[in-house]
Amino acid sequence: MDKKIAIVGLGGVGGYLYAKFVKAGLDVVGFARGEHLKTLQKKPLKIEEDTKSWSVTCKAQELGTTDEKFDVVLFCVKSYDLEKSYKLIKNNLHKNSIIISFSNGVNNGDVLRKLSTCTVVDGCIYILSHIKEAGVIRKKGKVFTAVFGENKVLETIFQKAELRFKMPKNIEEALWKKFIFISAFATLTSYYDKSIGYVYEHHKDKAKQVLQTIAEVASKKGLDITQEIEKSLHVASNIPYDSSTSMHKDFQDSKPTELETLCGYVVKEGKKMGVNTKLMEKFYLALSQ
């Protein structure tokens, strides 16, 4: 397979994928910005894992600066940057290009389908990683699974990179199974300005209510994720007490947040479908101030 691959966003997710793809000998270009990009144009991209660190030479560019055409594009940006990122790379796509978003949320595929005539594959990713400093990605633990709709090209890419992946029959249900935990705890940690452990210990009843609301919205879409309510609470009770969410950190750092994707979307979809979203709406309105 000789596909030209682009990874848009070289943060915790995209940076790790990029490094693994380079290591596997895949033809991949990464797109980044700011200090991270400047560093990567001078130095190799460094990956720090729990027991080892390794580096790869980086072909990092800024979006909109190349005429190269790509067969596969992976969007690893924040959900609020997805549409803008697509518009900056659309001239680098051709009619048979495959595009996928690993951004948080359950409707990124729908966003891309409205913008593009390319093949859009739905997906999400399980990984604990972040930019430690410009040019350095820190990955924690062994957690890694890429989840995406059935697609032979993506299957081959992830196999070659020796990265764990799943292609579930019902990709929409799989997206919601990840979304329920992130949506609930991103909202709650941001609202209370506390860790996941604190929220579980002091506001477990509210957490359960929010999880039930999200599950009910999914149910109205024909997806049964009720078993994820207790699973999510179990995860929250077992991860390190001071763990939080990227949205909470973005609020603390006064950065743009994924509030619309992770909280507002549930409120708006719930209202459309007759679901009682009063508690979620309370959090949403408070965080929107």
Burial 105-121 (b: 16+ CB within 10 A, else e): bbbbbebbeeeeebbbb
Same domain, yes or no: 137 and 19: yes
Same domain, yes or no: 42 and 118: yes
Give the domain range for residue 192: 172-288
Residue 233: which residues within 8 A CB-CB, separation 6 or more? 200, 204, 207, 208, 211
- For the chain, the domain total comes to 2
- 230-281 pLDDT, tens digit each: 999 999 999 889 989 999 999 999 999 999 999 999 999 999 999 999 999 9
Q: What φ, ψ does residue 205 adopt, rounded to 5°?
A: -65, -40
What is the predicted pLDDT for the residue at 1?
Answer: 62
Same domain, yes or no: 151 and 181: no
The three-class DSSP label of residue 191 is helix
Q: Report the DSSP pairing between strands 165-166 and 136-148.
A: parallel
44: DSSP letter: P
Widest CA span of the chain, in angstroms? 54
Same domain, yes or no: 137 and 181: no
Residue 82: which residues within 8 A CB-CB, separation 6 or more? 75, 101, 103, 108, 111, 112
- 76-117 pLDDT, tens digit each: 999 999 999 999 999 999 999 999 999 999 999 999 999 999
